[in-house]
Each structure stands twice: as C-alpha cells, then as structure tokens.
C-alpha cells in the first residue's frame, strides 16, 4: 500500500498535466479537422 502512495506522489502530478494537455490538444485537433474538411469541400466546388 505504501508503494501505491509513492507512485501517486511521484507520477500523479505529471499524469494530471498530461491528461489536461491531451484534452486541450484533442479540441484543437477537432477544430483543425473541421477546417481541413471545409477547405476540401471548397476546393471540390472550384
């Protein structure tokens, strides 16, 4: 049980930061994907 608390203490903060950054990055990827799809549709029309 003590090992578990040691792991949480050592790796908990970096895991939380990584999770937060992945969530933010995912939102930006969704926006980028939508922009690329819109560009593709625009280029297909022209």
Residue 10's alpha-carbon distances to 15, 18, 22, 31, 36, in angstroms, are: 10, 14, 20, 34, 40
Residue 28 maps to a domain: yes
Q: Which residue range is the domain that position 24 belongs to?
A: 1-41
Going by pLDDT thresholds of 50, 70 and 90, the confidence category of residue 20 is confident
Write down the pTM of the prediction: 0.55
Token pair in block for residue 13: 């903060």
Residue 3 maps to a domain: yes
Predicted pLDDT at 44: 95
Work out how many domains the chain is built from and give that number.
1
Residue 46 maps to a domain: no
Mean pLDDT of the chain: 87
């Amino acid at each position: 049980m003590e090992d578990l608390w040691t792991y949480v203490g050592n790796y908990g903060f970096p895991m939380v930061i990584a999770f937060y950054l992945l969530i933010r990055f995912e939102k930006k990827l969704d926006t980028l994907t939508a922009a690329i799809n819109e560009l593709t549709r625009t280029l297909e029309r022209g």
